[in-house]
Amino acid sequence: MKYQPSIAYTTFSHITKGNRYRLLYIFNTPLNQNQYQILYDNIITNIELDNHNRAIYQFYLGSYANCKLINNLIIYNYDDISISNSIKEKPTPYNIQLQMEKRDKVVVEIKDHEYISNFWNLSHKDLIEKYREKYPFFENNLEEANEDIPYITIPENYCCIKRYWFKEKTKLNNGNCVYSNRVCKIKDGNGRRKKLFLNAIVRKYMYPQIEFEHLLHCLANELYYYINNSKDPISKQELYDIAENAYNENIDKYSTMIKQQQTEKRKWIINPQYCIKYNLSAKTVRNMVKGKINNELIGLYYDCSKSLKENLSTFKALNLKVGKSKLYEWCKENNIPTNIKNNQSTKNTVGLYLYNPISAIAG
């Protein structure tokens, strides 16, 4: 259903004449007759229902006290529906009885009712901006690092949402070309709904105690930034149902899929907060970190009882890329003699390399 009703409830003839629901659409301003009929025509083109209620003066009865009730907490603006008056789209099948039964079976604890209300009433863009800090969008299970630490060590249980990127070429007025990385959005026909569901499962693995509202907000981000929703659009109701089903699912059933998200070969990544604080590019920090780690490895494996040449052979066997000039420089910085002769009895000490991020920047 393209336009979800604000409220839906079963009528007196429900069951006796088949499934009978009355759909109510609530607007934030009064409507005149012309506006009412435009909205009515737009709504009924997308669903199959009784089309004898186009008159604005139509009288409607209520229902039984124990009728089935669906409250979607939606309040529409007039333009939300009327602007698409000239657009004819293929109707989307929607069985409200099945949706009702589904909701009876799947229950989540709502703690932030204000967020749920805003989820239905705000655009994805406005919703994401409003709750950016309260429900942060995360794509991996790395712990937040101190901004004074240039890199983050990747743990063994590291897991992340995988993306695919392409380089976009832009030609400038001066004839030069610049390239920027753009994400490949998932298109219709590539299992967008299934991918959103599995995406939510992976996030539950990353953060087992995640609240439903936070999970739903992450999926809203996914839909807005990483899904092409122009064709056969995924509605808010569908997104809510996907989050609801994933939230109640047992993630142990998806252990194989989760392992496929744990193929990270890197041992560390650059800390973006460090780059921001010290106004350094990721490339600069990456080279700095490589040098730091390289020095630590030299200190770990350097044998002071051996000659420089012998140590170079050791590093080569360990697949450590250390050149002769680099090793001379390291020995000089750490006051380690390089003229050790073979078989000379020397206490084997490990070079100590102290790293100061502030001095590294100043240097």
DSSP-derived secondary structure for 209-258: T--HHHHHHHHHHHHHHHB--SSSPPPHHHHHHHHHHHHTS-GGGGHHHH
Verify that 220 and 316 share a domain, yes or no.
no
Verify that 308 and 228 share a domain, yes or no.
no
Has residue 53 been placed in a domain?
yes
Query: Which of 36, 65, 97 lies at the terminal end of a domain, its last residue?
Result: 97
Verify that 45 and 79 share a domain, yes or no.
yes
Verify that 248 and 288 share a domain, yes or no.
no
How many of the other CB atoms lie within 10 Å of CB of 141? 16
User: What's the domain count of the chain?
Assistant: 3
Verify that 186 and 251 share a domain, yes or no.
yes
* pLDDT exceeds 60 at position 307: yes
Q: Looking at this protein, which amino acid is placed at residue 59?
A: F
Task: List the single range of 47-56, 58-67, 163-172, 231-240 with lowest mean pLDDT.
Answer: 47-56
pLDDT tens-digit readout, 322-346: 888 888 888 888 888 877 654 444 4
- Structure confidence at residue 157 (pLDDT): 82
Find the mean pLDDT for residues 263-268: 79
Interstrand relation of 21-24 and 69-71 (parallel, antiparallel or unpaired): unpaired
Structural domain including 16 reads: 7-97
Has residue 286 been placed in a domain?
yes
> Which of helix, strand or coil describes residue 50?
coil
Per-chain mean pLDDT for the chain: 79
Verify that 89 and 211 share a domain, yes or no.
no
Verify that 120 and 147 share a domain, yes or no.
yes
Has residue 349 been placed in a domain?
no
Has residue 346 been placed in a domain?
no
- What would you report as the CA-atom Rg of the chain, rounded to the nearest whole angstrom? 31
Non-local CB neighbours of 255 within 8 Å, separated by 6+ positions: none
Kindly tell me the burial class for residue 138, based on how many C-beta atoms sit within 10 Å of its own C-beta (0-12, 13-18, 19 or more).
Answer: middle
Q: Looking at this protein, which amino acid is placed at residue 8?
A: A
* pLDDT exceeds 90 at position 221: yes
pTM above 0.85, yes or no: no
Has residue 353 been placed in a domain?
no
Verify that 159 and 228 share a domain, yes or no.
yes
Has residue 296 been placed in a domain?
yes
Has residue 83 been placed in a domain?
yes
Has residue 257 been placed in a domain?
yes
Verify that 215 and 90 share a domain, yes or no.
no
| Confidence category of residue 16, pLDDT binned at 50, 70, 90 | low
Query: Which of 97, 131, 165 lies at the terminal end of a domain, its last residue?
Result: 97
Query: Which of 199, 230, 261 lies at the terminal end of a domain, its last residue?
Result: 261
Which pair of tokens denotes residue 223? 């839909």
Verify that 298 and 207 share a domain, yes or no.
no
Verify that 59 and 168 share a domain, yes or no.
no
Verify that 121 and 41 share a domain, yes or no.
no
Say if CB 301 and CB 351 are below 8 A apart.
Answer: no
